[in-house]
Structure 1
């Protein structure tokens, strides 16, 4: 048993930290369990060290564990269902349950209900079929977080269970006015639009409602609609079908290679001596009116985030709202650690010409890099010791590349291009990491210190 766990741990070390599906196989190379996770490596480790009977039996019978990385949580869910149907693994009880496709049904009545049906029969709107009950449940769970609805078959006089969780709001059992009826029916119409794929029209409508709510200073309603728009973006973002992963288990790495290659093609025009890009660092600044200013450094290796190399900086010298100064300070501190933190192939800053200039200035003023004195003539206007610096301007998603002559090349990125997806993913992660640290500092400032 200990030998088995040791071997599986060695294999788990090579699994990705991102979303995907993992497969335990026995010595006969037969799949005995298929699972999914947003962090495959951590989930497999939890199996190896779990005390539950099922996990212990899986580990005892398994001789190998592998994974298929995917791009999103939804893809992992769909691929898991497909693999369970294909392999019928011994320890997946759901493999025996899903013998028929399922539909999402929206009933036709005064207060339409959202339910699950085995077949299309009776009045109402049907969406599907879906490959498994787990897929349907996941879609409904995500939909309900965006637009609350009722699933209770018969109406009563008390609010249903989900009304207490805010997932059936307004609850038909408690509706007493026409505005409440209209609000519930509007939610149902939005669910139909979402499941029908009419997301652009729905997003446009919600943006109008959010603007109107802000103008009348109903900020609570505006914030709720903003959150709905974010959830819609998450649910409806493009994804690959399970078939694509079954045909090519290396699909994610192929996509990442394409993203890096297209970025390198763009940059090589301005940096002819640029080597292969493997490691990229992205920086973003966060503050509130110049207070509790932070700067994040997130590291992507071969197109994937590597959190072991993330760093966060609490800005100390800049005492006002100055993104350029904060970025300059953070990079000056980072560049003292090239040897122990590693050297990136590319630096990306969230912003335009000002942010890029501040980044280059940080290096120009550094007396040494990573503890090594800066040799004369090794700094130029468009790179930091051979490390190219570029910016991603927010409004038009433009790439800002400094030139040797002191100017800038501004390149409009194609919407949805591989380069755009890679840079947006890094920028969004840097923004998230910077904001998280900033809010932590703000909270620490607001809460009374322990006595």
Structure 2
């Protein structure tokens, strides 16, 4: 027990998948948690007979850090399938194993949970250790890609269609009289199913590329409502999969996440070091974003990454007051000014990133001058993901390859700041509606 406690103390406290092993290295149990160290200590202190038996049989505990809940869910399922651990109660009983089933050959393929059957016309993903795990995976995916769970079409659209979680709804499509429009909607639905299959196979890049193509196509057709909706899907995809890797990659390299983050930080430093004076290795980066609704409910956010990892202890939200609450320049200036007054209690970043280009950078620089500080500062312009670096009164534009690890880090920062700002803005908006 003491040796397991000592091993647990050395493990990380972030999200990941862990395993208890016997004297010969055999895997006895596989689990997941958003706080691996805390969860393992819970196992060690548990009073249940099963937990006591597992702990007494164990001589070692290992863990693999991951970047997101979705990765943890999929990796846990893969490891259970590979090792069939003794204490994962249903892992060896394939009759009780749970799968995600996609009825690929149906006119409108369904995404269902299933005990694995012999339906060769369907695709199965799993097995998953519990029904709650399957539901969590599907809930995460449905935030990005809508799909239908009805076993057959009906006269009315399903409840989920009104929540935009089943869109377009097959029950609606079958009622469309125009043949061309019905064909178009059917194609959209089937494309959504193909994206879900790609995501379950670990092909996040493929899904993102398809969504970006659809967003650009909607913009060209001046269908800006659809373009905005797809943009939000991309943001949500980035959030639930940041940075997404196939479970097999984690199984091949348990230190994969740490290696990726180190590579991103070093790549960003290399891209900026010759263009920003006194730049240290950017271990702590803060990113700012602003949000408002036609000048009302104006808010902004600050997110902090340390070692390439979000540190929510240093996330901050700001309400913007005054006469210029519909002015993005003023909002960024006000936010940065209020933040840099807290160096003593909040700490000092190695790099500040603003969501936007030259106007946002100019606003941040104005705040620097007024407070009397000089910090490394860049902007990330949305259109081409261009890094903007202030050089005196001028600006330098840096365009990196889309596959560059530095861009991946900045995109995650920007997307997280955008998500956090929207979350606060919607919270205030809801409060204003309900009084």
Q: TM-score, normalised by structure 2?
A: 0.75
Q: List aligned pairs for 1:296-445, cutoff 5 A.
A: 296-366=301-371, 384-385=373-374, 387-403=375-391, 405-445=392-432
After superposition, the Cα gap between the structure-2 partners of 1:58 and 1:341, relative to the gap in structure 1 and judged at 3 Å, is farther
After superposition, the Cα gap between the structure-2 partners of 1:329 and 1:44, relative to the gap in structure 1 and judged at 3 Å, is farther
For 1:380, the equivalent position in structure 2 comes to none
Question: Displacement of 1:315 after TM fit?
Answer: 1.9
- Does the 8 Å CA contact 2:22/2:28 hold for their aligned counterparts? yes
Question: Displacement of 1:106 after TM fit?
Answer: 3.3
CA distance in 2, matches of 1:235, 1:309: 20
For 1:93, the equivalent position in structure 2 comes to 89
**Which blocks of at least 5 consecutive residues in structure 1 are unaligned?**
367-373, 375-383
2:79 is the counterpart of 1:83? yes
**Which blocks of at least 5 consecutive residues in structure 2 are unaligned?**
none
List per-residue Cα deviations over 1:150-175 (Å, max 9, x = no partner).
563xx69898xx94555777566996
**Higher alpha-carbon deviation: 408-417 or 255-264:** 408-417
Larger Rg: 1
Question: Displacement of 1:26 after TM fit?
Answer: 6.8
For 1:35, the equivalent position in structure 2 comes to 31
CA distance in 1, matches of 2:242, 2:178: 32
- The RMSD of aligned alpha carbons is 4.5
What SS does the aligned partner of 1:95 have? coil
Question: Displacement of 1:81 after TM fit?
Answer: 2.2
CA distance in 1, matches of 2:383, 2:338: 29
What SS does the aligned partner of 1:89 have? coil
For 1:286, the equivalent position in structure 2 comes to 291
Count residues in correspondence: 414
List per-residue Cα deviations over 1:93-131 (Å, max 9, x = no partner).
23213499979563656666667665574xx4x546x45
- Does the 8 Å CA contact 1:150/1:171 hold for their aligned counterparts? no
What SS does the aligned partner of 2:281 have? coil
Q: List aligned pairs for 1:54-93, cutoff 5 A.
A: 66-93=62-89
Question: Displacement of 1:352 after TM fit?
Answer: 1.0
Question: Displacement of 1:341 after TM fit?
Answer: 1.0
After superposition, the Cα gap between the structure-2 partners of 1:148 and 1:348, relative to the gap in structure 1 and judged at 3 Å, is closer
After superposition, the Cα gap between the structure-2 partners of 1:363 and 1:144, relative to the gap in structure 1 and judged at 3 Å, is closer
- Does the 8 Å CA contact 1:297/1:312 hold for their aligned counterparts? yes
CA distance in 1, matches of 2:178, 2:142: 20
What SS does the aligned partner of 1:132 have? strand
What SS does the aligned partner of 1:343 have? coil
Q: List aligned pairs for 1:176-215, cutoff 5 A.
A: 185-186=186-187, 189-191=190-192, 193-194=194-195, 195=197, 204=213, 208=217, 214=223
After superposition, the Cα gap between the structure-2 partners of 1:64 and 1:294, relative to the gap in structure 1 and judged at 3 Å, is farther
Question: Displacement of 1:66 after TM fit?
Answer: 4.4
2:12 is the counterpart of 1:15? yes
Q: TM-score, normalised by structure 1?
A: 0.73
**Higher alpha-carbon deviation: 36-45 or 287-296:** 36-45
- Does the 8 Å CA contact 1:210/1:225 hold for their aligned counterparts? no
CA distance in 2, matches of 1:283, 1:397: 16
